[in-house]
A and B are shown apart, each in its own frame.
Chain A
Amino acid sequence: MSVLDPPGSPSSLGITVQSDRLAHFVGPSGDYWRLLIRGNALVAVTLGIYRFWLSTDMRRFLWSNTVIGGESLEYTGRGIELFLGFLIAIAVLLPLYIVFAVIPFLIPGLAERNASGSMLIIVLAFLGQFAIYRARRYRLTRTVFRGVRLHQSGSAWAYAFRSSGWWILIFWTLGLVYPWAEASLERYKMRHTFYGDLPGHFTATGGRLFVRGIVLWLIVVGPMLAALFVAPFFDWSALDAALSKRDIGAGHSKMAGVGVLAGAAVIWAVLAALALYPAFQAMATRWWLSGVRFGDIALTSSLRTGQIYGIWLRFLLGVLVFAIAAALILALVPISWNQLAKGAHLSSGLQLVAAGFALVAYLVIVLAYSTIYQVIVKLSLWRVAVESLEISNFHMVELVKAEGQQSSPFGEGLADALNVGSF
């Protein structure tokens, strides 16, 4: 089978646009479970150092099992590169941390206002955006398809400025500008992304995401806005008087209702956000994938919302099963927790053993949850997203010329050190 002549090729039909279900994910979940369980055990034993090799393995699995037009992607990154990137990032961040730690003691009066700490958080948030862009460059230049690698130009500083600006706006508009922020940032990323000499771009618009997302936003935030809106019409001094007298009698029942209403609005927002998150995720993923272009090659995604709900329900089930299993095992532990908490009859040595055990148990539980999440949620999302793709003009890949060089893993290291890393 050759991708040169898929069904309905341009020559036979005389049209230039063609599309087909060309993308498949062929990785068995069982292999991914094994990979993650083994990898996370090693992460625990090496106190985290193995994580660079684990994430390399995860990417290798995801990439090499993603088959597009009969050819699989290839991830050429190595664990040792990520480790070195992390060490470089530490070398950069360490002086920064030290400077910010020492400044308050050198300038009198600064320590009381804790300005140095807030400054550091702002600087780190900015660096985090920088790291996200550089890490993306690393991953792209380690992605090879049909003997040609992807690469990324553009400036990580420019991206960090854009992204930080947008996040401030998102915060002040309660998320209303999020669609335009996403579209703008994605345009910047894709405009600087290349597959060989084939330039990428991003065609989805913020307006479209907004139109689709506004209903969800209104359901989540609406009641809170309504509560804010009606607030001025209430007699607040009467409410205050009522509350201070601790006498919420018949005359003040309306005032007490405001508090109840506000609380209910917040609880509603949290519950609605949780319940609607999969719908949002499906919508945003579909919107994003359908905007991706490389030259004339265009993606369309037909990801269904029900699929994403299915994934999250399976995750809840997985967590439930694990929680029951963990509770059963912990119930068999010889030292009862109650006794441990009192600590009265235990020697120092035994307490150390018990504390060590608790720590190990905690680590096992947390890593197990992470494994369940990675396999059930992340892997399934990847699978359904890939399978949902339709690709037009795929035959253009035949003409792509190789270009681009491997980039340094510094961005990945920084992202890891700042905790903004992803795949």
Chain B
Amino acid sequence: MSASGAGIFFDGLTGARREVAIDLGPVALRILSAQGTALAEWPYPEIERLSAPAGTLRLGRKGSAVLARLEILDPVLTAHIGDHASGVDFGAVSERNERVRVIAWSLAAVASLVLVGVFGVPLLAARATPFIPLVLERRLGEAFDAQMRSILDRDHVGSRFACGTAEGEAAGNAAFVKLLHRLERGADLPLPLRAIVVRRSEANAMALPGGRIFVFRGLIAKAETPDELAGVMAHEIGHVSHRDGTRAALESAGLSLLFGMLLGDFTGGGAVVVATRMVLQSAYSREVEAAADGYGVTLMSRIGGDPRALGAILARIGGATEPAMKILLDHPETAARVAAINAMAGSSGGQPLLDGAEWAAVKRICSGN
């Protein structure tokens, strides 16, 4: 059976529009001018359907550099072409298959991304950290130090943000340095510690890369014995010894790369990326904190301090510093943490690390305010 009909033809060489006759041969579609001369002959397997408004069938030749187009408005002829040319991809099947593949691979990519995020990034960061030269870590520390100061120094006191330099604070600073040196001697670190007390009222302390430690004045206020302060400092020294600051920076960079860059930013994607990063990073750091607790207990025992003091002060301040969302908790839950510390510590005891006068001086290290 041979069918024919009318169509509109663009030869792909000029913009001229031709009304043509279409003849559906056995193996090819023939395009004839009004006078009956053959303009083109398209074998069915080479024909593809192209996008067009509803009611128009637009055909072209697959992979051709010349963009010849044939348009058919007649529904009967369109149906005939469907019958004849089994090779013509009418339902855009190949296109649909491509999309199904894309969706399937995307889902696989999302799954692998999450796995890499949960397991790969912390593993990689932990492996890579020992290879970061200490010189670089110290530079990283300088950068973090400046950044943290600008974030934490809410009252913009500038150089006075660090306690211990003003008049009347010298004795406190001397006692604090004594405590620090005692801890440092026991710690055997690859780089010197640079710890300061800062004017922040929260009961907290933090370790930055490059051996930098910030002890908040609020922590000293809450500490009842020198060993409690030393316990927290020993925990932070654990972070320094494990190079956790550098590792966290690597993890953060890795996650930014993974979720920020590779996924790109589609509408609403930014928030998903940030949320995922926060949850994952809190999860990494919970293990890191437990390890730092272990280090702290060992260090305190080694220098003859009270290894249980860390647990005691944590129990006192713990509840206040926990965020509402447990999945955002970057430290293990306080009760479990204190229990773990006490189990490791065994018996408490030993002499206090500072005498009464020294401890009283440390308590006044920010008094020059």
Interface residues of A (CB under 8 A from B): 2-4, 26-28, 42-51, 53, 60, 63-65, 67, 71-72, 74-76, 79-80, 83, 86, 90, 93-94, 97, 101, 104-106, 108, 111-112, 144-149, 196, 341-344, 346-348, 351-352, 355, 359, 362-363, 365-367, 370, 397-402, 416-417, 419
Q: Of residues 261 to 280 in B, which have CB atoms within 8 Å of A's CB atoms?
A: 261-269, 271-272, 275, 279
Nearest-CB residue, chain A, relative to B325: A343
Residues of B within 8 A of A97 (CB): 261
Number of B residues whose C-beta is below 8 Å from A?
A: 56
The distance in angstroms between the C-alpha atoms of A208 and B325, with both chains bound, is: 58
- Given A343-B324, A402-B14, A47:B136 Cβ within 8 A: no
Q: Interface readout for B90-119 with A: 1 if CB under 8 Å, 0 if not?
A: 000000001100110011011001000000
Instruction: Tell which of B17, B54, B107, B264 touches A45, judged by Cβ atoms closer than 8 Å.
Output: B107
Q: Of residues 133 to 185 in B, which have CB atoms within 8 Å of A's CB atoms?
A: 136, 139-140, 142-143, 146-147
- Report the 8 A-B pairs with minimum CB-CB distance, sorted nearest first: A147-B10, A366-B268, A111-B143, A46-B106, A400-B15, A48-B266, A49-B106, A343-B324
Give B31 Cβ to nearest chain A Cβ, in Å. Answer: 12
Instruction: Tell which of A28, A48, A108, A146 touches B15, judged by Cβ atoms closer than 8 Å.
Output: A146
- Given A105-B139, A366-B267, A147:B69 Cβ within 8 A: yes
The reply on B320 being an interface residue by CB < 8 A is no
Give A219 Cβ to nearest chain B Cβ, in Å. Answer: 32
The reply on B11 being an interface residue by CB < 8 A is yes
Give A40 Cβ to nearest chain B Cβ, in Å. Answer: 8
**Count of CB-CB pairs between chains A and B under 8 Å:** 179
Give A360 Cβ to nearest chain B Cβ, in Å. Answer: 9
- Central interface residue in A94, A111, A417, by most chain B CB within 10 Å: A111
Residues of A within 8 A of B10 (CB): 146-148
Nearest-CB residue, chain B, relative to A116: B143
Instruction: Tell which of A4, A355, A359, A397 touches B325, judged by Cβ atoms closer than 8 Å.
Output: A355
Residues of A within 8 A of B103 (CB): 42, 45-46, 50
Asked if B261 and A71 make an inter-chain contact with CB atoms under 8 angstroms apart, the answer reads: no
Residues of B within 8 A of A342 (CB): 324
The reply on B68 being an interface residue by CB < 8 A is yes
The reply on B56 being an interface residue by CB < 8 A is yes
Asked if A105 and B140 make an inter-chain contact with CB atoms under 8 angstroms apart, the answer reads: yes
Give A379 Cβ to nearest chain B Cβ, in Å. Answer: 15
Asked if B261 and A90 make an inter-chain contact with CB atoms under 8 angstroms apart, the answer reads: yes
Asked if B51 and A148 make an inter-chain contact with CB atoms under 8 angstroms apart, the answer reads: no
The distance in angstroms between the C-alpha atoms of A80 and B261, with both chains bound, is: 18
Q: List 26 A-B contacts (CB under 8 A).
A: A26-B53, A26-B54, A28-B54, A46-B103, A46-B110, A48-B264, A50-B106, A65-B53, A71-B71, A74-B50, A80-B98, A83-B102, A94-B261, A108-B139, A108-B142, A146-B17, A148-B12, A148-B14, A148-B67, A149-B67, A196-B14, A346-B326, A351-B326, A362-B271, A362-B272, A363-B272
Give A164 Cβ to nearest chain B Cβ, in Å. Answer: 22
The distance in angstroms between the C-alpha atoms of A80 and B147, with both chains bound, is: 42
The distance in angstroms between the C-alpha atoms of A397 and B17, with both chains bound, is: 9
The distance in angstroms between the C-alpha atoms of A64 and B57, with both chains bound, is: 12
Residues of A within 8 A of B147 (CB): 111
Nearest-CB residue, chain A, relative to B259: A47
The distance in angstroms between the C-alpha atoms of A402 and B12, with both chains bound, is: 7
Asked if A27 and B98 make an inter-chain contact with CB atoms under 8 angstroms apart, the answer reads: no
Residues of B within 8 A of A86 (CB): 264
Residues of A within 8 A of B98 (CB): 79-80
Asked if A398 and B16 make an inter-chain contact with CB atoms under 8 angstroms apart, the answer reads: yes
Instruction: Tell which of B15, B52, B143 touches A72, judged by Cβ atoms closer than 8 Å.
Output: B52
Residues of A within 8 A of B326 (CB): 343, 346-348, 351
Nearest-CB residue, chain B, relative to A374: B267
Give A26 Cβ to nearest chain B Cβ, in Å. Answer: 5
- Given A401-B14, A402-B12, A355:B275 Cβ within 8 A: yes
Asked if A351 and B325 make an inter-chain contact with CB atoms under 8 angstroms apart, the answer reads: yes
Residues of B within 8 A of A93 (CB): 261
Residues of B within 8 A of A343 (CB): 324-326
Asked if A359 and B275 make an inter-chain contact with CB atoms under 8 angstroms apart, the answer reads: yes
Asked if A60 and B51 make an inter-chain contact with CB atoms under 8 angstroms apart, the answer reads: yes
Nearest-CB residue, chain B, relative to A4: B17
- Central interface residue in B67, B139, B264, by most chain A CB within 10 Å: B264
The distance in angstroms between the C-alpha atoms of A51 and B266, with both chains bound, is: 7
Residues of A within 8 A of B15 (CB): 145-148, 196, 397-402
The reply on B363 being an interface residue by CB < 8 A is no
Give A65 Cβ to nearest chain B Cβ, in Å. Answer: 5
Asked if A79 and B267 make an inter-chain contact with CB atoms under 8 angstroms apart, the answer reads: no
Asked if B324 and A341 make an inter-chain contact with CB atoms under 8 angstroms apart, the answer reads: yes
Nearest-CB residue, chain A, relative to B101: A80
